[in-house]
Amino acid sequence: MSELLLLAQSSDGGGGGSAVILIFYLIVIVIGIASMWVIFGKAGEPGWAAIIPIYNYIVLLRIVGRPWWWLLLAFIPIVGFIVAIMIYMDLAKAFGKGTGFGCGLLILPIIFFPILAFGDAQYLGPPN
């Protein structure tokens, strides 16, 4: 009985922080989707592909000039991280940016993807 009393006492007024976190999380998701949508559009791909989970990776591979089977490599634990590094570096180069910008895409995507999407970067084609 005392456990129920403790649960009832702790549940009043404790949900405000989680609502703020949820709103922040939703804002981050919307920014990420909007950024990928615009990046896909700049590269001549359909923007709606950004919201389809596996297909968006295939489109990203097409944008950077990598074969579709790299998607399979992305599911191998350590190899997947190396593949992600290579894809982000190639994405930066495909838009005329350098290796430092590619590192930014990898480390701070919430900052660098909107810069790539809403900035003046133009798609130049696959870097290969």
The DSSP string of 99-122 is HHHHHHHHH-HHHHHHHHHHSS--
pLDDT at residue number 12 = 52
pLDDT tens, 38-54?
Answer: 999 999 999 999 999 99
- pTM for the full model? 0.82
pLDDT at residue number 11 = 53
Q: Do 33 and 112 touch, CB atoms closer than 8 A?
A: no
pLDDT at residue number 17 = 81
pLDDT at residue number 7 = 45
| Regions in the chain scoring below 50 on pLDDT | 1-2, 4-9
pLDDT at residue number 5 = 41
pLDDT tens, 70-86?
Answer: 999 999 999 999 999 99
pLDDT at residue number 122 = 94
